[in-house]
Amino acid sequence: MRINKYLANLGVDSRRAIDKLIDEGKILVNGSVALSGMKVDENDEIIINGKNINKKSQNKKVYFMLNKPQKVLSAVKDDRGRKLVTDLIDTDERIFPIGRLDYDTEGLIILTNDGDIYNRVIHPRGEVFKTYYVEIQGSISMTSLNKIKKGIELDGKMTLPAKAKIISSTSNTTTLNVSIKEGRNRQIRRMFESVGHKVTFLKRISIGNLLLDEKLKIGGYRPLKKSEINYLYSL
């Protein structure tokens, strides 16, 4: 099996993160620096940052739904000492978030040690829309809303088509549900800024058919149900 998939299946990290470790020369296979795309199996000695990774020693797979607060980083480490999503969950397993939520965005995020579902959830070629509750300044015109839906140019590249539905609107504030497939840096905020509206509040409420549990307070979490795990694997 390709090394990135093999290690992701063991819950070491996502395939993307593992590829980065390989590029940085931090993974050894049988005493030699690992190469991208190489094949490995359970008989190979794999060492990551000096730690021997043994398939038999890997612990069970865990899956958590977190209602992420604002001012919490969607990462497993930070050189600036900010609070991490992993700090909010009490587990002995080494978990990581599937995808990211901006530092100032709250809501649904999944954390796990199962790297196999990572690409199923975040890859834009899939049909997985992530839905956000959005509050913006001012009353948005249908012309501007249609631009959001069709795609906005960010950093020289058009965003994929989005879904957007107005919930309420006054001269001061508009609230919407917006669904996107991608996860570019501060994407929704930048899309609305490009049509002249500042986002004042942003919360992810669903990933595909997986809904944020309304019983979870900000900063609260719970294990995913078996049906929810099966749904993520079906993506």
Report, as residue numbers or ranges, the catalytic residues. 102
**Helix, strand, coil % in the chain, rounded to nearest 5:** 25, 30, 45
Contacts of 61 (CB under 8 A, 6+ apart): 11, 112, 113, 114
The 8-class DSSP code of residue 84 comes to: B
The enclosing H or E element of 10 equals none
Of 215, 142, 191, 133, which is closest to residue 167 (Cα–Cα)? 133
The enclosing H or E element of 12 equals none
- Tell me the two tokens of residue 53: 């990774």
Maximum CA pair distance of the chain?
65
Of 10, 6, 16, 62, which is closest to residue 183 (Cα–Cα)? 16
Rounded to whole angstroms, what are the CA distances from 37 to 23, 52, 67?
A: 11, 20, 36
Alpha-carbon gap, residue 134 to 225, rounded angstroms: 27
Alpha-carbon gap, residue 146 to 130, rounded angstroms: 18
